[in-house]
Structure 1
Amino acid sequence: MQALRVLLLTCVAVLLAFAATAARIHGEVPSEWLVHWQTPTLADRPLQIVHGLSPRMLVADAVAQILQQPAAQPQSDEGLAYYLRRGRGGIVCNVMFDRYLESEEHWKSFVVGVQMCAQLGMPVWIYDEKGYPSGTAGGLVLHGHPELEALVLARDPQGNPEYFFRRAYEHTHASNNYHALRRYINLMDERATARFIEVTHEAYHQRVGQYFGKTIVAFFTDEPSLMAVDLGPIPEPARSKVPVEDPVDPNVKPLPTLPWCHDFAEVYRRRWGEDIQSQWKSLFEGDSSEDHRIRRQFWSTVADLVADRYFGQIQRWCQAHGVASSGHNLHEESIYHHVPLYGNGLKAISRMDIPGLDMLTSNPESVIHMGWMTAAMPLSGALLEGHRRVMTEVSDFAQKMSGAGPVNLQQMQATAGWQAAWGVTEFTLYYSPEDRTPDENWQYGQFVGRLNTLLKPAMPRPQVALYYPIYDLWAEYRPVAGPLHQSPAPPRAQQIISSFVRIGQTLQRRQIPFILIDHEHLAQAAVTPNGTLRAGNAEIATLVFPMGVELPPEARKVVEQFANQKGRVIYDSPEKTLNVNNAVAWIQPDLSIQPPNDRIVLGRFSRDDHTILVLVNVGQETYHGSLRGVAGHAWTQLDPATGDKQTVTPQNNALNLELAPYQTLILAD
């Protein structure tokens, strides 16, 4: 009897396995994936950035009305229902900027707002600054604590002394931004971050701590950076309209500067066993191997201090309080600027639980230019550190500033689609709901929600890693007086950057998903027996190196092991450059489209042993072609704009592909 029972159970298990296999063969995705496909949850929809919750937004009777509404789209248009009716699922907010963090009246409004969001099931992110860049708490951090202000080592060849320290304000992002001219903290000073947390994060926790990890799920830090480089002034007439909270001294000369902090010399001496003051000249000039060595030591120290003392300190506090740290860096698209702004931009952003990007344009084609770089940074930081979620702050700021905006719904959707293909899961919006009809806003919210319904639980699966050459740029970087972008970089730096940018654009334009990996993550990666490279949540089959890079010994050893295990290693060179004409032949991706087209974006994911592909047409012409290399069984094709679903079947391992202008399609096997 017992044997018969075991036999029956075995037969049932076999039949269930066969049924699951049959369903897969017929292109049916698991039904649980699609439970919220037509009506995405609030957690999967975008969040509206709202700088302050005023009493007029907090209408109690409107909230009560919503709570009685079973429909997915509430009928009321008051209070927070305004955002729900326009497809938003939650908000990114802060206590009002007026009397920032000091008005009990505004605190009361904020607390009521969080309570209402909790009743409605709306997730809340806390924006951690009065405007931007984050770190000053609207100036409160530096009140009575001038020693916490950003500090630089300046060089004046005609001065006496030639080298001296000064506060970093004039000729920096602190005095050249769109929000306010305000003195800034030192990201390398652990005391400055501790005070920022005390004034900001602790104040929120004191008032709404019971909602942390429930309604309140993340803190958003906005463009913190080292104030050690001139980014140039913002254009008029915007510049003349920016409030001046701290007067700018016109007598402060533009000079080459380097970031510094109160204990930098001691930290440097402990780490390297050398006196940094005797090496100051090499930090500003020189092209010898000794100059390169010193600059690498200096910027490596800067990178570690920024990553640990600002990003790491905030991350540790957030994790201890049940919320995620998130936000984005400044100038993500310019790798040369990553040196003076962070030491190592990839290392800094990797210290966020939900690393993010700032997408100031909603021209979908931006991805084929430098948008890929902006998105590659947070995706890489997330995967390399074993995370998944990625945030975007997205808007049509560039179009509106130029008079070409606001953009239309299709452009918004395509911009969201390509970012989702790059792993973005959290869409925080500076789009103004008033710029579009309620129905257009609702459609956009549904679109983002459907993307996340399928992709947020899925893992991005890029198989290529492009080397992030910050180690080489440390050696080549020389500070200059005046805007950095107006001074040509040294020839070797130009060669490396040009190669890096060309390779990234080539991979993007040939539908080859990839991440960035720096020398530190490369040195920590593990070579697997099957010839791949495991780094966090990424498993890489191909490494690509820009022209002229020099690997440190630890990273070079891993690359050699990878190559010995038959991993593919590609070096760009003057004799054999990687470009759109040879990328597919060199890298041999298992998926490709025919005919080639620069404006098709491809993202690759896995979920429960299924493959999910995201295809986006960021161009203005319909694409007709085929997707080559797909498995021969049926696939499910889903349209996040309409909610439509159908089964498609490849012929000879190729799927016919038709993508209308700005269309996004999802394929799941």
Structure 2
Amino acid sequence: MSIIEKYGKSFANPDRRNAIYQIIHGGAVDKEKAEYYDSRWFGGIVGNVPYTSEFPDSDEEWNDTAAGIREYIQRGMYTWLYDEKGYPSGTAGGYVTEFNPEYVAKGLYCYDYWRKISGPSTYRADVPGDKLWKALLLPVEGGDPIDVTDCLNERGVLYIEVPAGQFYLFMMSIRRLFDGTHATESYSEPRNYISLSDRKAVREFINCTHENYKKVLGDEFGKGVLAMFTDEPSLISWNIRAGVFPILPWLDSYPADFEAKYGYEFYKACTAVVLRRGDDAVKRRCDFWEFIADTIADSYFGQIQDWCRANNLKSSGHMLEEERLQAHVNNYGSFYRSMKRFDWPGIDQLATETSALMRDGTIPIARFIASFADINGEREVFTEFSDHSVRERGDRAELGCYYGSVNWHLAMGVNNFTSYYSWDGITKEETRELNRYTARSGGLLRMGSRDSRVALFYPEAAMWESYIPNTNVRAIDYSEATQALDDAFAQASWDLVQRQIDFDYIDCALLLEGEIQDGRLIYRDRAYSALVLPCARVLEEAAMAKLLECEAAGIAILFCGEAPRLSRETGVTSPAALEIADAIEKGRMALAPTEDFGKLLDAKLPRICRTLKIENEKGCYHPMLLSHCRVTDDGERVIYLANMDSVPFTGRLTVDGCCAEAVECDAFTGEMTKLDVDGRLSLDITIRPGEGRFWLIAGRK
């Protein structure tokens, strides 16, 4: 059977489920809107209850919303459920915290007194509010803190018996998280928030929201209702505006749970995180953030995922500040660990213009998040995309911006579109055509799996060791180590993207679980011939040993910015780190400064790591051209290219391997055109600005 015979009909008549979904908060109850979106061939909607003053106890509110949702389903459309009134998700419009004040998120406000205290002496100190948790004396010359909390008298004043020597006074107080945090700065309303580590609070959120949707729509779960959308949940233990004291996340159970897991007192880890003081500071800093990361991933994201899976729904949503690596620490402990608990991971993309989408100073979030679905096998990645940034300045997005954004997302690996677009100035027919284009394109890019042969490492331990909680706006750490990590991770990512190299982001767990076979690291259906590690200066001992095994098996190991130096477990240079340094010196592994990493890729990345080669008229790669290559379950290859430049791209496309048959697929018209091939595909191509083009190829050996 030829490619056209096999795929032509489904391509010409795409699955509506793959079109765009409009987000209509509270509007699902309006059945008349269903006709509007149906006539424009939307895939469906993302909706929620209107959150009246009677929420969550109004049967009428739930029933009317369910009736509205069913109207869309009866028209052949699909729906998602949005789980919150505004954002961030977690409080059910404030109900969870208003009626359960014990669930309001709290933080540790960390006060490091600026003067040295000398002993032996008696020293008096008032304490910061609301409730002192720990008062510590930190020896100036180093060593572990001395706990003097029991020097607090009944009037709330410290009278400290200072031993001989010089010390710093460090106090940590428990306070409600509100002032200057995300609780006061969202677009919805000032609202108390929950701790994502608090299983009971999250369970109450599920009871208020998810269980009520189940009562009225449970029969459509997994059919007309596809997924539950959670929006920007995060730790809010940091300031959006400039703060006074650094903040750490807090839950009353943290100290006991931490000590049970790691075998030492929680306050020692807190001290190491804020001040880098005490023994084993590297290990303790990593222990702290790992502990926070696991409690959040399990208690919030894991609990919701478990509920969704038990009820035939997909857990989905997006997180906060995906684009800044250091923000992953103070928001989640580990963004990667939380993101793994989504079935259908997602992003938000407020920009629609190419210049903003191709901003290479931050993480290419669409490629980053799409990796999770590529690795977990779900093949579904969503975006909450919009023309927000254009509307904010009083302008209107042209139709080309809509197509350009769709093509950018598709090339990065995002194939499910939920929309906040205004559609201002876009006609009914133009909207229909865009939806059909999106559905055709999304259908092709759900086939098989992405042909990623390179893995980019998520440097979790290095992030934990380097990030310093602070009082800056958005808690940005300007330390040299953290900035170097931010820069290296973004640079390595874009160096791969701009060279049309398909790659996935992996973490330490995947590296360790993967099996080495035939010169590749194998994990499920993923097979990596090269590993890229940006600034992974701190690394687990087992991970360093695995890198040495990979190199010995012929897997290329490339370091960006800095090679592993310190052990996550001990905080000192390990024998494995010395072996890696020796391998770099002898040319078996490679290291380049961040600014020169692209040159290292050009020189050292094996040819086997590339599915295709694209050269412009000068014989060079083109950084504004994006690629996405997939292998179908039957072995065909899907090749997608998108031109994000403001001028046409003209050059040559050469696809690796044998080619027995090839067709070009026009996502605008639904037509497939057979190409003349002679065992190999090599084409002269021209791609207009913002345009995306597809090829389907059979005959790969």
Q: TM-score, normalised by structure 2?
A: 0.82
Point out the more displaced range, 553-562 or 626-635.
626-635
Distance in 2 (CA, whole Å) between partners of 1:638 and 1:214 is: 30
Matched, 1:603 2:628: yes
Partner Cα distance (2:188, 2:71) in 1: 29
Q: Which residue does the alignment assign to 1:118? A: 73
Amino acid at match of 2:484: Q
For the 8 Å contact 1:355–1:390, the answer to whether it is kept is: yes
Aligned match of 2:695 = 667
Does structure 1 residue 81 correspond to structure 2 residue 35? yes
Question: Relative to structure 1, is the Cα distance of residues 325 and 573 closer, same or farther in structure 2, using a 3 angstrom cutoff?
Answer: closer
Please show how residues 254-653 of structure 1 align to structure 2 within 5 Å: 254-286=244-276, 290-370=280-360, 373-403=364-394, 405-484=395-474, 487-488=477-478, 490-528=479-517, 530-547=518-535, 549-573=537-561, 576-577=592-593, 578-587=596-605, 588=607, 589-595=610-616, 596-607=621-632, 608-630=634-656, 631-649=658-676, 653=681
1:207 paired residue number:
216
Q: Judge conservation of contact 2:268–2:284 (CA < 8 Å) in 1.
A: no
Query: Contact between 1:649 and 1:655, CA under 8 Å: does it hold in 2?
Result: no
Residue 135 (structure 2) aligns with: none
Percentage of pairs with the same residue? 29
- SS of residue matched to 2:27: coil
1:147-200, Cα deviation, whole Å (9 max, x unpaired): 111121111224625211111111211111222111111100101110000000
CA distance in 2, matches of 1:278, 1:80: 57
Going by fraction, where is strand more abundant, 1 or 2?
2
**Which whole-Å CA distance do the structure 2 matches of 1:278 and 1:597 have between them?**
50
CA deviations over 1:466-512 (Å, ceiling 9, x no partner): 11112101011111113245551x22222222121111111111111
Contact between 1:53 and 1:109, CA under 8 Å: does it hold in 2?
no
Q: Is 1:135–2:62 an aligned residue pair?
A: no
Aligned partners of 1:88 and 1:653: how far apart in 2?
36
Name the counterpart of 1:249. none
Cα displacement (A) at 1:37: 2.0
**Cα–Cα, structure 1 residues 372 and 364, in superposed 2: closer, same or farther, change >3 Å?**
farther
Please tell me whether the aligned partners of residues 372 and 508 of structure 1 are also in contact (alpha carbons under 8 angstroms). no
| Contact persistence 1:365–1:599 (CA under 8 A) | no
Which residue is 1:92 aligned to?
Answer: 46
> In structure 2, the residue corresponding to 1:502 is in which secondary structure?
helix
Q: SS in structure 2 opposite 1:142?
A: helix
Letter of the 2:99 counterpart: G
Deviation at 1:548, TM superposition (A): 5.1
The Cα of 1:377 is off from its aligned counterpart by: 3.0
Q: Could you tell me how far apart the structure 2 residues matched to 1:148 and 1:435 are?
A: 45
Gaps of at least 5 residues in structure 1 are 1-19, 24-28, 60-78, 234-252
Distance 1:263 1:356, change over 3 A: same
Letter in 1 for 2:622: N
Change (3 A) 1:31 1:96: farther
Residue 311 (structure 1) shift = 0.3
Q: Name the CA distance, whole Å, in 2 between partners of 1:627 and 1:554.
A: 41
SS of the aligned residue for 1:157 comes to: strand
CA drift of 1:384 comes to: 3.1
Question: Which residue identity does 1:444 align to in structure 2?
Answer: L
- Residues of 1 paired with 2:476 and 2:28: CA distance? 43
Task: Give the equivalent residue in structure 2 for 1:238.
Answer: none
SS of 1:269's partner is helix
Question: How much has 1:581 moved relative to structure 2?
Answer: 4.3
5+ long unaligned stretches in structure 2: 114-125, 133-170, 563-590
AA of the residue aligned to 2:67: V
Give distance in 2, aligned partners of 1:539 and 1:551: 22
CA distance in 1, matches of 2:539, 2:172: 32
SS in 2 for 1:214: coil
Contact 2:531 2:556 in 1 (8 A): yes
Secondary structure, counterpart of 2:351 in structure 1: coil
Q: Report the aligned-residue RMSD.
A: 2.1
Q: Which amino acid aligns with 1:592?
A: K
